[in-house]
């Protein structure tokens, strides 16, 4: 099977790639490209022979033949501003300039049978931008207004983020993805530590994908969807290099792979026939912000030093006029950000002994990022386009989040990323071939800032007869020791055929040879956990820990896990203009991935013996078969069922296409994250050992055994920990067993809606339904002596349902099973309004309201599900990661005196939280939930930002040279969007805000910027 798949992949790539070696073809609608098609009505006796699309800024030309009925088709054009040159049998006609957006499928019908009367352009996707060198309207020039450009998009739901929005809207960290939340069902979430992520509907961030110039940026190892974004305050790409991007929240076409929620396609800037450059500097510090809540409560105090400096330069221009261009850019960040150290659940630091007061308070941490990007495009002939791009990203600095962790436990973060791409597009009369080769090498390598031992203080107060353990303080050494990444090559080819009337047929294939790596040494610095209430009769217990956990080599295998993965995908897509009113988008794709680290893994004999009936009879009557999780290196197969039909339609009610009904269905497969799959290997090579100490745990006292021993101070030393290991077989280490029949997560997406355009104003109302299934999950495999998970026969009236952590295999810790089973569902109704900016109407608005009913069978974002025996035992409740109501509004307007004003508003309803209640009578564990407190009035989050920009022409180098002075005011009303809430369902304060931690929104902050462009 594996050899057959490889041979098929290579054969497909060879056949498709041969198109690139043959000869000319029209353009190819690949991910991120635009298309333009329509009908040209010629004067009687003077037929149109060909039409040429000319990119205004670069002079790049693409020519398509015109059929006898006047139809033409440009199946793949770079997003940009174009004009049409129409060659008739006798004479030539030209259009004025119009703009094609990234991913846009546009229709344009032209009537040349009578001379075009001069009119002022009033366009959406079809007006000449300010300062373009397009031919003026009038005479024989055809005016292409926005009403002439019609949308041929199918059932997909999303939005286009233009260059103007990126430039004008206020934002905090220059992450170009910050405006993706203008699309229905999409959230851009910033954490207090500066890290950010994209979330679509009820699915987590690992299910998104971003394509830049048609190349996937997928992170195959870590959780935040795209490389470099896991636990990083950095940006994935320099914003100066992004021209515009499209956000699709559901039901995309067959070209998109390895994504089951949000697909984002971005196009980078290119050099033009004129030299253009710009530079900027953004700055803010503690004097330009209001106090954070922790600087006001419980007492007002001085602000923590903080600063945010961002800077960059860009330059582009011609190498050879109309033939070759270059573009280069650099952006940097130097951020000092504040964080707080305080106990959980609103406990005052003064409740701890005085010797620990030094660890609490507010502190500052440093983050550095450098981003480089370069691009060269060459057009050796009118039918060929060659591009080379390169990106380098480097990040460093300390990292720690607000919480119980003291400054000494900080992590030194290291992110490094290199990406290079070569592209060749060949255009002919009835076909286009797009061939790409790309290379990537990414690294994410956090290490502890301090070595030694780590101490964790926990409290277990009794509230209404129930104990609820929470953390008070973690201090000493850090614990995050990892080095993960991916490196390898990708070859992809996309072929478009326009030779059949009314059809644009695309087929493509992609093959990747990627080496995934994961070095994970959990608790290389040992962790001692104290139940400070365990000896309440003697006061605060900081003398005897109830548990020690530490990582140590197992003597077999390597914790540096490597896997030479092979990925292959193939698709076919037909965009079919059935009539002048109806367009169908019919697609099918298939994806395959082989992960040798999982497929070829052989379960060690030690693990097999440990869970055998002779050693661990608890599994004899268990509700699962452990043999389904034991691999001999031959009984696992790569998943081959990733068939993905995708169907969309657009029905235009009027000839101009201003009003349309659209909809569609699509299935999209993602992938199993390597960070999960590698744990089977790494946990066996460098496992975490765990030993409990007798009488020191007031909540779960241990029974004396080789892993439950009397405390001895020698156990604080390396020699003592070795002594503990010598006294037991397994050393309390956990097991990781993965299902031998893992499936690939996927989603089914349905959409239906209406679009209307009234000159420059666009309205859209729609409904989407998205169901995701087979998400990866870890379950607890421990069982009690009779094979049950909970007590089948409670011994006393005080027994409550509890997971059998106290019944592991002798000498070992928990059995953790990895399998599939996470499910989510979301139903959304949305309303979207857009008003396009033009020089004649210099204001814009983009507003989206989304109402979502979402559900899940596990707490949002949690993979470990250790509370019930099976994932099917979890009740399906409202999602804790999706607000019911969400409104995002962005607007801009040009004011007199060269001033531009812009604003962005975000409002969403309160979050939902869930918790378990264990009951003795009746004997059951139930999962309950309720909405949390928010910022008041039932709202969970509010933030409004604004920016005022003053442009000063100086005409030093050219007529377009100007200075830019800008002031951003972030979180204008200083809203405190708290994120910590009481989660004890037996407490009268359940759901109420505790502590002073807020989300990613800053306190009211003024950011000053200065820029220069020519």
pLDDT at 535: 60
Residue 19 has pLDDT above 60, yes or no: no
Residue 637 to residues 200, 412, 640: CA-CA distances in angstroms?
Answer: 30, 39, 9
- What's the CATH fold of domain 157-268? Ferric Hydroxamate Uptake Protein; Chain A, domain 1 (2.170.130)
pLDDT at 131: 34
Exposed/middle/buried for 999, CB within 10 Å: 0-12, 13-18, 19+? middle
Task: Give the chain's mean pLDDT.
Answer: 88
CA distance linking residue 259 with residue 33, whole number of Å:
18
Residue 11 has pLDDT above 80, yes or no: no
Residue 140 has pLDDT above 70, yes or no: no
* Domain ranges for the chain: 34-101+110-147, 157-268
**CATH architecture, domain 34-101+110-147:** Sandwich (2.60)
Q: How confident is the model at residue 129 (pLDDT cuts 50, 70, 90)?
A: very low
Q: Which residue has the tokens 């139930």?
A: 926
Residues 333-365 pLDDT 10s:
999 999 999 998 778 898 899 999 999 999 999
pLDDT at 64: 87
Residues 846-868 pLDDT 10s:
999 999 999 999 988 899 999 99
Residues 592-614 pLDDT 10s:
999 999 999 999 999 999 999 99
Residues 660-693 pLDDT 10s:
999 999 999 999 999 999 999 998 889 899 999 9
Residue 5 has pLDDT above 50, yes or no: no
Q: What is the mean pLDDT of residues 903-914?
A: 93
Residue 374 has pLDDT above 60, yes or no: yes
Exposed/middle/buried for 453, CB within 10 Å: 0-12, 13-18, 19+? middle
Closest CA to 377 of 277, 278, 272: 272
Q: How confident is the model at residue 113 (pLDDT cuts 50, 70, 90)?
A: confident
Residues 281-320 pLDDT 10s:
999 999 999 999 888 888 888 999 999 999 999 999 999 9
Q: What is the mean pLDDT of residues 248-271?
A: 94
Residue 815 · residue 779 · CB < 8 Å: no
Q: Which of 125-134, 436-445, 448-457, 475-484 has the lowest mean pLDDT?
A: 125-134
pLDDT at 1003: 93
Cα-flanking dihedrals φ and ψ of residue 760, to 5°?
-90, -5
Q: What is the mean pLDDT of residues 615-624?
A: 96
Cα-flanking dihedrals φ and ψ of residue 125, to 5°?
-85, 10
Highest mean pLDDT pick, 143-147, 464-468, 763-767: 763-767
Alpha carbon distance, N-terminus to C-terminus of the chain: 58
CA distance linking residue 94 with residue 54, whole number of Å:
10
Residue 795 has pLDDT above 70, yes or no: no
Residues 148-171 pLDDT 10s:
677 777 788 999 999 999 999 999
Residues 703-751 pLDDT 10s:
899 999 999 999 999 999 999 998 888 888 999 999 999 999 999 999 9
Closest CA to 768 of 798, 744, 747, 789: 747
What is the Rg, in whole angstroms, of the alpha carbon atoms belonging to the chain?
A: 30
Residue 26 · residue 429 · CB < 8 Å: yes
Residue 785 · residue 810 · CB < 8 Å: no
Name the strand (E) or helix (H) holding 20.
Answer: helix 2-22
Q: What is the mean pLDDT of residues 958-984?
A: 90
pLDDT at 130: 37
Residue 142 has pLDDT above 80, yes or no: no
Q: What is the mean pLDDT of residues 782-810?
A: 83
Q: Which of 23-32, 134-143, 392-401, 909-918 has the lowest mean pLDDT?
A: 23-32
pLDDT at 23: 28
């Amino acid at each position: 099977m594996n050899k057959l798949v490889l041979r098929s992949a290579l054969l497909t790539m060879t056949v498709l790639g041969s198109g690139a070696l043959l000869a000319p073809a029209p353009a190819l609608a690949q991910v991120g490209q635009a298309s333009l098609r329509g009908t040209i009505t010629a004067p009687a006796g003077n037929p149109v022979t060909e039409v040429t699309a000319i990119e205004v800024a670069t002079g790049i030309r693409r020519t398509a033949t015109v059929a006898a009925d006047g139809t033409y088709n440009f199946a793949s054009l770079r997003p940009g501003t174009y004009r049409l040159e129409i060659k008739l049998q006798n004479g030539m006609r030209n259009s004025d300039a119009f703009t094609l957006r990234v991913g846009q499928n546009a229709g344009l019908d032209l009537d040349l049978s009578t001379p075009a009367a001069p009119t002022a352009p009033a366009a959406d996707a079809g007006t000449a931008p300010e300062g373009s060198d397009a031919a003026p309207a009038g005479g024989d020039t055809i005016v292409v207004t926005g009403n002439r450009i019609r949308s041929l998009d199918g059932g997909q739901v999303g939005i286009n983020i233009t260059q103007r929005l990126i430039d004008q809207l206020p934002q905090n960290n220059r992450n170009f993805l910050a405006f993706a939340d203008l699309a229905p069902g999409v959230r851009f979430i910033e954490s207090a530590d500066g890290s950010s992520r994209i979330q679509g509907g009820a699915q987590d961030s690992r299910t998104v994908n971003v394509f830049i110039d048609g190349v996937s940026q997928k992170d195959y190892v870590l959780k935040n969807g795209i490389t470099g974004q896991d636990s990083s305050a950095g940006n994935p790409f320099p914003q100066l290099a992004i021209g515009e991007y499209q956000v699709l929240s559901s039901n995309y076409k067959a070209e998109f792979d390895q994504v089951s929620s949000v697909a984002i396609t971005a196009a980078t800037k290119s050099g033009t026939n004129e030299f253009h450059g710009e530079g900027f500097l953004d700055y803010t510090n503690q004097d330009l912000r209001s106090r954070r809540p922790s600087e006001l409560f419980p007492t007002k105090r001085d602000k923590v030093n903080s600063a945010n400096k961002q800077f960059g330069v860009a330059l582009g221009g011609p190498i050879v006029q109309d033939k070759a261009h270059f573009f280069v850019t650099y952006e940097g960040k130097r951020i000092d950000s504040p964080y707080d150290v305080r106990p959980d659940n609103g406990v005052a630091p003064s409740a701890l002994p005085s010797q620990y007061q030094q660890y609490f308070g507010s502190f500052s941490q440093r983050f550095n990022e450098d981003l480089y990007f370069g691009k060269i495009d060459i057009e050796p002939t009118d039918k060929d386009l060659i591009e080379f791009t390169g990106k380098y990203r480097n990040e460093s600095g300390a990292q720690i989040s607000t919480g119980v962790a003291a400054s000494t436990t900080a992590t030194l973060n290291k992110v490094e990323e290199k990406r290079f791409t070569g592209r060749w597009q060949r255009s002919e009369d009835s076909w286009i071939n797009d061939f790409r080769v790309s290379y990537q090498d990414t690294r994410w390598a956090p290490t502890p800032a301090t070595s030694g031992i780590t101490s964790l203080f926990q409290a277990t107060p009794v509230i209404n007869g129930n104990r609820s353990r929470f953390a008070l303080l973690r201090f000493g050494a850090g614990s995050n020791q990892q080095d993960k990444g991916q490196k390898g090559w990708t070859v992809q080819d996309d072929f478009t055929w326009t030779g059949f009337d009314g059809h644009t047929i695309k087929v493509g294939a992609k093959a990747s040879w990627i080496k995934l790596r994961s070095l994970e040494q959990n608790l290389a610095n040992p962790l001692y956990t104290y139940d400070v209430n365990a000896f309440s009769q003697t006061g605060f217990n900081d003398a005897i820990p109830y548990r020690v956990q530490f990582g140590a080599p197992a003597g077999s295998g390597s914790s540096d896990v490597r896997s030479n993965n092979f990925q292959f995908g193939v698709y076919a897509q037909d965009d079919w203009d059935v009539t002048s009113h109806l367009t169908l988008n019919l697609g099918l794709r298939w994806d395959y991935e082989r992960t040798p680290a999982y497929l070829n893994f052989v379960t060690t004999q030690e693990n097999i013996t440990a869970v055998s009936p002779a050693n661990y009879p608890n599994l004899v009557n268990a509700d699962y078969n452990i043999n389904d999780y034991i691999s001999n290196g031959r009984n696992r197969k790569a998943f081959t069922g990733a068939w993905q039909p995708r169907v969309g339609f657009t029905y235009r009610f009027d000839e101009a296409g201003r009003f349309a009904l659209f909809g569609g269905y699509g299935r999209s497969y993602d992938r199993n994250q390597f960070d999960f799959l590698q744990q089977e290997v790494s946990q066996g090579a460098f496992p975490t050992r765990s030993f409990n100490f007798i009488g020191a745990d007031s909540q779960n006292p241990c029974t004396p055994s080789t892993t439950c021993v009397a405390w001895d101070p020698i156990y604080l030393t390396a020699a003592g920990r070795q002594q503990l290991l010598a006294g037991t077989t397994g050393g309390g280490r956990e097991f990781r067993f993965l299902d031998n029949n893992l499936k690939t997560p996927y989603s089914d997406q349905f959409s239906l809606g209406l679009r209307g355009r009234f000159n420059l104003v666009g309205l859209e109302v729609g409904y989407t339904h998205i169901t995701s299934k087979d998400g990866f999950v870890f379950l607890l495999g421990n069982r009690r002596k009779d094979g049950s998970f909970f007590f089948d026969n409670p011994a006393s009236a005080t027994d409550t349902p509890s997971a059998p952590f106290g019944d592991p295999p002798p000498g070992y810790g928990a059995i953790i099973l990895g399998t599939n089973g996470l499910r989510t569902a979301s139903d959304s109704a949305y309303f979207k309004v857009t008003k396009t900016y033009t020089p004649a109407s210099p204001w814009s608005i983009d507003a989206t309201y989304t109402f979502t009913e979402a559900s899940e069978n596990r707490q949002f974002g949690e993979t470990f599900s250790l509370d019930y025996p099976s994932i099917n035992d979890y009740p399906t409740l409202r999602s804790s990661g999706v607000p019911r109501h969400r409104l995002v509004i962005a607007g801009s307007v040009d004011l007199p005196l060269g001033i531009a004003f812009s604003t962005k508003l975000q409002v969403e309803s309160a979050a939902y939280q869930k918790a378990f209640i264990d009951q003795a009578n009746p004997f059951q564990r139930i999962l309950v939930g309720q909405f949390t407190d928010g910022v008041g009035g039932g709202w969970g989050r509010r933030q409004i930002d604004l920016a005022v920009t003053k442009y000063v022409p100086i005409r030093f180098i050219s007529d377009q040279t100007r200075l830019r002075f800008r002031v951003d005011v972030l979180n204008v009303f200083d809203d405190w969007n708290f994120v910590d809430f009481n989660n004890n369902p037996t407490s009268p304060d359940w759901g109420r805000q505790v502590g002073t931690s807020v989300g990613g929104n800053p306190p009211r902050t003024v950011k000053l910027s200065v820029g220069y462009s020519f």
